[in-house]
Amino acid sequence: MAVPQNNLEMQMEDRISALPDGILCHILSFIPTVDAITTSSLSKRWRPLWRSIPVLDIQLDEILGGCVYASFFNFAFATLLVHSAQHPLTLARLRITPRAAAHYIFPNAYFNVWVKAILERHIEQLHLEMPRVYPIYSGVFSCRTLVVLKLCRVSVDVLQSIDLPRLKTLHLDFVRIEGVEYVARILRGCPILEEFETNHVFFDYNVVEYQSMCKLVRAHIGKNFGFQVPLKAMSNVQSLRLFLERSSFRKMLSIFSCCLKLLQLNHQDDFPVFPNLIHMELGFERYVNWDVVLELLEHCPKLQILVLNMPLVPNKPLIPVLPEIWSCPQFDPKFVPECISSKLRKCTILGYTGIKCEMQFAKYIMHFSGALQTMTIHHCADMQDKLQKQQELAMFPKSSATCKLLFE
């Protein structure tokens, strides 16, 4: 039986092309600009649409020849010039991976001229990721329309003016800064900053006073070499992730003792009281000093969630050299931290190998945590006698009648 012509036309109808321009441009904004441009070949309806997309996303992650790299930057400039100035450009992203430039050095002039042209469009979000550390156009730090600024593999050498009154998110990843005073100036120039993230920021060390960032909500301070973390200025944060050097650990933590909600650490030292801390994650690179862990728990009276990321077991030759490190602590039942006895709801141990110290700590938590709801054990992949060690923990008495022991 033949299908009626009107039904066939209905089945072949292009419903996507019938959508309003605003919706189509919104859809295209989620793909790289080069892919968005290719849609112009679909039909006359699609031909002008990419010029109205509020996002310019230029990416290069393939290894190409030198002449092709020049064409890449020509493409980056051309898309910016052709993009309709009548439509606002809210986000610009330039991403060139180290792999893409493995055999070619991009001229710095190309990079900064493109950045300067982008800033003239009064964008709100700028994401720059370069293959190597390139000097960045200083005007980036005086763009008053920026709300989000994410920089990766750039250097900040000279800053004449810093004025970022609308900036709420600042990410610095593998950024080299001429002096630590520039960091203080950058943060002072962001009066409403809410999210600050750094990872591997390099600069010469000098003692600098930082202005308090009273609007800051989230801070992630990653592994930084030569970076004096301005924790005092961040004392209002509710979410904080820290990866600090042991030498500066004690001093910095004392600044935050009154305001932390979430804390992630990976080194140990003496601790102040954290009256508001409810979620804590501890990572250990080489060994666990269990006495320090217990001391820290004594200073977290409201802690509800505890996550321990265990280190890899060291090579056997190291063990006799550090006997005091690997000796298990004495868990005194007369001195149980307040958080363990009445507040702790969830405890997770990652990379669990079932060695004596880990086993004792897990039993200690289950035996004295009256409010514990879940005890989760993530086994190390090559753990020996896994089933036997699971059974030993499963048979151990628990203080909380509602506690569930989970093995993953």
Q: Within the chain, what is the greatest distance between any pair of CA atoms?
A: 87
Chain length of the chain: 408
**For residues 330 and 142, which has the higher predicted lDDT (pLDDT)?**
142
Q: Which amino acid is at 332?
A: D
**For residues 304 and 224, which has the higher predicted lDDT (pLDDT)?**
304
What is the C-alpha separation between 169 and 164, in angstroms, rounded? 11
**For residues 100 and 340, which has the higher predicted lDDT (pLDDT)?**
340
Q: Residue 405 above 60 pLDDT?
A: yes
Confidence of residue 346 (pLDDT cuts 50, 70, 90): very high
User: What pLDDT is recorded for position 155?
Assistant: 87
Q: Residue 144 above 90 pLDDT?
A: yes
**For residues 338 and 239, which has the higher predicted lDDT (pLDDT)?**
338
Q: Of the ranges 106-115, 187-196, 276-285, 306-315, which is most confident?
A: 187-196
Give the DSSP H/E element, type plus range, for residue 67.
Answer: helix 66-82
User: What pLDDT is recorded for position 150?
Assistant: 94
Confidence of residue 165 (pLDDT cuts 50, 70, 90): very high
Average pLDDT over residues 147-169: 88
User: Residue 349's beta-bridge partner residues?
Assistant: 308, 377
**For residues 368 and 19, which has the higher predicted lDDT (pLDDT)?**
368
Q: Could you tell me the two tokens for 193?
A: 């900053």
- Residue 240: other Cβ atoms inside 10 A: 22
Q: Residue 145 above 70 pLDDT?
A: yes
Assess contact for 59 and 91: CB atoms under 8 A. Answer: no
Sketch the domain layout of the chain as residue ranges: 20-107
Place of tokens 């030498």: 247
User: What pLDDT is recorded for position 294?
Assistant: 83
CA 80 vs. chain centroid, Å, equals 30
pLDDT tens string 357-386: 888 888 888 989 999 999 998 887 555 677
What is the C-alpha separation between 339 and 337, in angstroms, rounded? 6
Average pLDDT over residues 144-157: 90
Q: Where are the alpha helices (DSSP H) in 227-355?
A: 246-255, 290-298, 323-326, 338
User: What pLDDT is recorded for position 108?
Assistant: 73
Average pLDDT over residues 299-327: 61
Average pLDDT in the chain: 72
Average pLDDT over residues 215-244: 51
**For residues 115 and 248, which has the higher predicted lDDT (pLDDT)?**
115
Confidence of residue 203 (pLDDT cuts 50, 70, 90): low
User: What pLDDT is recorded for position 256?
Assistant: 43
pLDDT tens string 51-102: 778 888 888 776 555 545 556 667 776 777 776 666 778 888 888 877 766 6
pLDDT tens string 238-261: 555 555 344 444 444 443 444 444
Assess contact for 262 and 237: CB atoms under 8 A. Answer: no
Q: Residue 14 above 90 pLDDT?
A: no
What is the C-alpha separation between 133 and 22, in angstroms, rounded? 37
Helix-strand-coil split of the chain, %, nearest 5: 30, 25, 45
Q: Which amino acid is at 84?
A: S
Q: Of the ranges 94-103, 316-325, 338-347, which is most confident?
A: 338-347
First-to-final CA distance of the chain: 58
Q: Which of 105-109, 137-141, 178-182, 227-231 has the lowest mean pLDDT?
A: 227-231
